[in-house]
Amino acid sequence: MTDRCLLAVESSCDDTSAAVLRGESELLGHIIATQDMHAEYGGVVPEVASRAQLRVIDGVVSTALAEADMTLAAIDEFAVTAGPGLIGSLLVGLNWVKGAAYARRRPLVGVHHMEAHLFATTLEDERAQPPFVALLVSGGHTLLLHVEEWGRYHLLGQTRDDAAGEAFDKVARLMGLGYPGGPAIERMARDGDATRHPFPVPMIRGDSGPDDDDYYDMSFSGLKTAVLLRVRELEESGRLEEEIPHLAAAFQQAALGQLVEKTLRAVQASGCQRVVLGGGVARNRALADGLGGRLGPKVTLFVPSPRLATDNAAMVARAARFHLDRGERADLELNARADLPMPGIVRNGASP
Ligand code: KG4
Ligand code: ZN
Cis-peptide, bond into residue 202, ω within 30° of zero: no
Confidence check: pLDDT of 37 > 80:
no
Which letter does DSSP use for residue 341 in this model? P
pLDDT per residue as tens digits for the range 270-285: 999 999 999 999 999 9
Ligand 1 atom at shortest distance from the alpha carbon of 165: 12
CA 307, CA 317: separation in Å to the nearest integer?
A: 15
Confidence check: pLDDT of 242 > 70:
yes
Buried b (16+ CB within 10 A) or exposed e, 281-293: bbbbebbbebbee
- pLDDT given at position 40: 73
Higher pLDDT, 203 or 230: 230
DSSP characters for 188-233?
HHTT--GGGS-PPPTT--TT--TTSTTTT-B--HHHHHHHHHHHHH
Which letter does DSSP use for residue 314 in this model? H
Residue 214 — pLDDT band, cuts 50, 70, 90? confident
CATH number of 5-118+309-346: 3.30.420.40
- For the chain, how many residues are written? 352
In the chain, helix, strand, coil percent, each to 5? 45, 20, 35
CA 278, CA 118: separation in Å to the nearest integer?
A: 6
Nearest CA among 9, 8, 83, 88 for reference residue 44: 88
CB-hemisphere CA count at 13 Å for 102?
A: 10
Higher pLDDT, 33 or 37: 33
Confidence check: pLDDT of 350 > 60:
no
- The DSSP H or E segment spanning 148 is strand 142-149
Residue 246 in marked binding region: no
102 to 55, 96, 237, 328, 340: CA distances (angstroms) = 22, 10, 63, 16, 23
Confidence check: pLDDT of 319 > 70:
yes
Residue 311 in marked binding region: yes
Pocket lining: 13 vs ligand 1, CB cutoff 6 Å = yes
pLDDT per residue as tens digits for the range 156-192: 999 999 999 999 999 999 999 988 999 999 999 999 9
- pLDDT given at position 351: 41
CB atoms within 10 A of CB 40: 11
Q: Give span(s): CATH 3.30.420.40, the chain.
A: 5-118+309-346, 127-303
- pLDDT given at position 38: 74
Residue 21 in marked binding region: no
Which overall architecture, per CATH, does domain 127-303 show? 2-Layer Sandwich (3.30)
| Region of poorest pLDDT, from 179-188, 195-204, 246-255 | 195-204
Nearest ligand to the C-alpha atom of residue 303: 1
- pLDDT given at position 3: 92
- pLDDT given at position 253: 97
Ligand 1 centre distance from Cα of residue 340 (Å): 20
308 close to 120: Cβ distance less than 8 angstroms: yes
Higher pLDDT, 349 or 142: 142
Q: Across the strands, what pairs with 27?
A: 21
Ligand 2 centre distance from Cα of residue 272 (Å): 24
Q: Mean pLDDT, the chain, as a whole number?
A: 94
- pLDDT given at position 135: 98
Pocket lining: 140 vs ligand 1, CB cutoff 6 Å = yes
284-304 mean pLDDT: 97
| Region of poorest pLDDT, from 51-55, 60-64, 229-233, 287-291 | 51-55
CA 203, CA 254: separation in Å to the nearest integer?
A: 11
- pLDDT given at position 348: 60
pLDDT per residue as tens digits for the range 222-231: 999 999 999 9
8-21 mean pLDDT: 96
